[in-house]
Structure 1
Amino acid sequence: MSGSAGSSGRSAGGEREKKKEKARVSRTSQILWHAHQNDVAAVRKLLEEDRSLVKARDYDNRTPLHVAALHGWIDVAKCLLEYDADVNAQDRWKNTPLADAEGARRSPMIELLKSHGGLSYGQNGSHFEQRPLPPPLPNKCDWEIDPNELDFSGSTLIGKGSFGEILRACWRGTPVAIKRILPNLSDDKLVVQDFRHEVNLLVKLRHPNIVQFLGAVTEKKPLMLITEYLRGGDLHQHLKEKGALSPSTAISFALDIARGMAYLHSEPNVVIHRDLKPRNVLLVNTSADHLKVGDFGLSKLIRAQQHSHDVYKLTGETGSYRYMAPEVFKHRKYDKKVDVFSFAMILYEMLEGEPPMSNCEPYEAAKYVAEGHRPMFRAKGYTPELRELTDQCWSPDMNNRPPFLEILKRLEKIKETLPSDHHWHIFAS
């Protein structure tokens, strides 16, 4: 009797500990979220209830002060400093809040942090500098994640492909997106080798318009790739629900995509996405005010396995054919300009409200495009400058397609000349 009573007492104690841990994780998320939202009253209330939350850390080891510093939220920062926030706390990249504030050019924040003894240091300087991270050391991987830290108990399936599945799960109390490679692919030496090579590439990428890689499971099966989870869903779903976007929204979205792509295409380590399409462009939040490019590299990851014709089937859907540059379809040599072609197709879809060549099956659409045909412009939102830019981006000759840095400059100019949004409502039926 006493034995079973003892064990039930222990299990009740264990349950209490689990609940306490869950509540702590939840409060950690809350203070980081409220700091991000510039809600000083909510931040103060949490700190009054539990002073230790000033030391809260997210999966990148970033404190609420890092978050406030990056966004320039002075009142939130003052409140955190009042509760003895560590002004020189370092995140995963060894950056201090001051390094973040300098990277984002937040002058008042820089002054505030310096007046509290803030120092600007970090492994890579400020948060937004686009310097590649040094490759991880093979013996001491700071990105290798212990699969036991991944909590799949409340996981939901986000996507499925021939390579495996993408799940929303939790890592150290934070929602993340996890790509799980199929067990039979995890046994293939070439896939393992390519997977590790891919991780070495992804770990160096850091940009506000690129989905952030967090780590990977490479030592145990199944192989897994962990990235930040973006709650806004993908652009494909957004366009399905909203239809054609207003020109100003479409251009804001296009600018975000082009910024991410300009970063990927920058020398010396050029990354060709190869599968740029609305499903691989993610909305940071439900208010859809910020986009990030994601899911690059998987086509390259599996390329050693298949004929190039099948590469695009492996990155999710054969729907990739719809956005595919003619030179890829024809198995010709190609370079980073394939991404510029796909970008033009996405721009077209945002303004028209339907996929390019929507009356054809994806493979037929790619074949039709490879023969020299292009989608028809119908939307009123296409100004002459936008039509010209789109035409150049999907030029059959890849040498005539502009690089993303030029696309950015031209989109900025077009944005300045657009009338305000309300003039366009008559066209959005």
Structure 2
Amino acid sequence: MENLTKREVSRQFSNRALKRGFSRQFSRQSSMDPRKNNQWFNFGRQSSVDPVQRSSVQEELTVPENLDSTMRLLFMACRGDTKGVEDLLNEGMDVNGIDLDGRTALHVAACEGHVEVVKLLLSRNANIDARDRWGSTAAADAKYYGNLDVYNILKACGASVPKTRKTPMTVSDPEEVPEYELNPAELQVRRSDGITKGSYQVAKWNGTKVSVKILDKDSYSDPETIAAFKHELTILEKVRHPNVVQFVGAVTQNIPMMIVSEYHSKGDLGCYLHKKGRLSPHKALNFALDIARGMNYLHEYKSDPIIHCDLKPKNVLMDSGGQLKVAGFGLLRLSNISYDKAKLSNPGAHVDPSNIYMAPEVYKNLIVDRSVDSYSFGVMLYETVNLLYF
């Protein structure tokens, strides 16, 4: 068993066989997005919080060809065509359908000041506090464009007007908004659970369970914390592998800032080992190979090797099918010395000397390379095979 494990793990962990063996390509976060077939609505006035304000269209609008039903609804609302909006809703069109900026027909009608359209949409249970990707509501848009009749109607119905707040990552050009940016209104985080600084908690994104890391608001003025947040986000966004936790998206243009990744109900490897007890040789080997494949991918990443530095059972998650996924990489920010050697950018940050999985080079602030992860992997493998908990 020991020889078989050593041979198989060595092959996966330290060479490029995996890269040649895998041909499957994993799509970006947008492949998980239920809005992936939607379009941008670019007619008329844009969101009051859109970083680039466009002048409103003055000429008579005609319905372009090849618009889907959601875009037709937004177009009719922009034109003030109450009858057209009513016909689409009678045909079963979702009154809260959105474009890629998260704008609803109510947003559009409020921007344009079409009172009757707004009344119709409200009578059909339009979400009065729906927020677009910049966090603006229909009431905020109506107020911004001076459409006081619409604004007063919305306020009388209980609409809220969110305060506009900028984050340390706010961009001035909408074309610079990252493609992974999520609409915070689509994330349902249970505040009652309590938010621990820097930790992940369960939330729902468009009805799907996800893990959300919320940046503590007191950290927004701390350059080191923001730099670490950006570093983690940059690494998560670029990696795709079946044995690496999948990045879903992030909120960087609204407060609170968040990183969203896939959720795994079976928890981490540490919890699994304590619950299940001794593993069969076959199961132990499969787990070892899952971790080795994930780490091999990170170590052989095409631009720069990604050194984990904090590989441990708590940073290995299990999906519903029992497959392991490496997580927690990117938490320790490194300064590259050469192609495959680095040092901690902020010595002492997130480093626990009592962590027996961590290689001595890390907590001693020495130069590190991929071997520090091999050390951590070896300790984990010993624990898995011998069922000794540290």
Q: Assess, with a 3 A threshold, how the Cα gap between structure 1 residues 300 and 307 changes in structure 2: closer, same or farther.
A: closer
Q: Measure how far apart 1:326 and its partner are.
A: 1.9
How far apart, in 2, do the equivalents of 1:284 and 1:353 lie? 21
Query: Residues 253-272 of structure 1: matches in 2 within 5 Å?
Result: 253-266=287-300, 267-272=302-307
Q: State whether structure 2 residue 241 is matched by structure 1 residue 241.
A: no
Q: State whether structure 2 residue 364 is matched by structure 1 residue 326.
A: no
- Asked if structure 2 preserves the Cα contact closer than 8 Å seen for 1:243 and 1:354, the reply is no
* 1:308 alignment partner, one of 320, 331, 347: 347
Query: Larger C-alpha radius of gyration, 1 or 2?
Result: 2
* 1:279 alignment partner, one of 314, 329, 333: 314
Q: State whether structure 2 residue 59 is matched by structure 1 residue 59.
A: no
Find the counterpart in structure 1 of residue 234 from structure 2.
Answer: 200
- Asked if structure 2 preserves the Cα contact closer than 8 Å seen for 1:325 and 1:341, the reply is yes
* 1:176 alignment partner, one of 210, 215, 227: 210
- Asked if structure 2 preserves the Cα contact closer than 8 Å seen for 1:235 and 1:279, the reply is yes
Q: State whether structure 2 residue 327 is matched by structure 1 residue 290.
A: no
Show CA shifts across 1:11-51 (max 9, x none). xxxxxxxxxxxxxxxxxxxxxxxxxxxxxxxxxxxxxxxxx
Show CA shifts across 1:233-287 (max 9, x none). 10010011122212211110010000000000114321111110000100102x6
How far apart, in 2, do the equivalents of 1:244 and 1:251 lie? 13
* 2:178 alignment partner, one of 141, 144, 152: 141
For structure 2, the 5+ residue unaligned runs are: 1-30, 38-99, 101-173, 336-341
The letter of the residue matching 1:59 is: D
TM-score (norm 2): 0.50
- Asked if structure 2 preserves the Cα contact closer than 8 Å seen for 1:198 and 1:297, the reply is yes
Determine helix, strand or coil for the equivalent of 1:262: helix
Q: Measure how far apart 1:186 and its partner are.
A: 2.8
TM-score (norm 1): 0.46
Q: Assess, with a 3 A threshold, how the Cα gap between structure 1 residues 333 and 138 changes in structure 2: closer, same or farther.
A: farther
- Asked if structure 2 preserves the Cα contact closer than 8 Å seen for 1:143 and 1:215, the reply is yes
Q: Measure how far apart 1:195 and its partner are.
A: 1.9
How far apart, in 2, do the equivalents of 1:259 and 1:323 lie? 19
The letter of the residue matching 2:388 is: E
* 1:342 alignment partner, one of 376, 383, 389: 376
Structure 1 or 2: more helix by fraction: 1
Q: Measure how far apart 1:211 and its partner are.
A: 0.5
The letter of the residue matching 1:169 is: A
How far apart, in 1, do the equivalents of 2:183 and 2:282 lie? 44
Find the counterpart in structure 2 of residue 22 from structure 1.
Answer: none
Q: Assess, with a 3 A threshold, how the Cα gap between structure 1 residues 327 and 60 changes in structure 2: closer, same or farther.
A: farther
How far apart, in 1, do the equivalents of 2:385 and 2:267 lie? 19
The letter of the residue matching 1:353 is: L
How far apart, in 2, do the equivalents of 1:155 and 1:291 lie? 30
With a CA cutoff of 8 Å and minimum separation of 6, indicate the structure with the bigger relative contact order: 2
Show CA shifts across 1:369-423 (max 9, x none). xxxxxxxxxxxxxxxxxxxxxxxxxxxxxxxxxxxxxxxxxxxxxxxxxxxxxxx
* 2:219 alignment partner, one of 179, 185, 196: 185
- Asked if structure 2 preserves the Cα contact closer than 8 Å seen for 1:239 and 1:350, the reply is yes
Q: Measure how far apart 1:58 and its partner are.
A: 4.3
- Asked if structure 1 preserves the Cα contact closer than 8 Å seen for 2:333 and 2:346, the reply is no
Q: Measure how far apart 1:221 and its partner are.
A: 2.9
Query: Residues 354-365 of structure 1: matches in 2 within 5 Å?
Result: 354-355=388-389, 358=390
Q: Percent identity?
A: 39
For structure 1, the 5+ residue unaligned runs are: 1-56, 64-91, 93-136, 359-429
- Asked if structure 2 preserves the Cα contact closer than 8 Å seen for 1:150 and 1:170, the reply is yes
How far apart, in 2, do the equivalents of 1:192 and 1:298 lie? 12
The letter of the residue matching 1:297 is: G
How far apart, in 1, do the equivalents of 2:344 and 2:292 lie? 30
Aligned length: 218
Determine helix, strand or coil for the equivalent of 1:299: coil
How far apart, in 2, do the equivalents of 1:353 and 1:59 lie? 40
How far apart, in 1, do the equivalents of 2:216 and 2:318 lie? 27
Q: Measure how far apart 1:330 and its partner are.
A: 2.5
Show CA shifts across 1:111-166 (max 9, x none). xxxxxxxxxxxxxxxxxxxxxxxxxx971311112222211248857x95xx4221
How far apart, in 2, do the equivalents of 1:205 and 1:330 lie? 28
Query: Residues 98-247 of structure 1: matches in 2 within 5 Å?
Result: 139-153=176-190, 160=196, 163-247=197-281
- Asked if structure 2 preserves the Cα contact closer than 8 Å seen for 1:277 and 1:346, the reply is yes
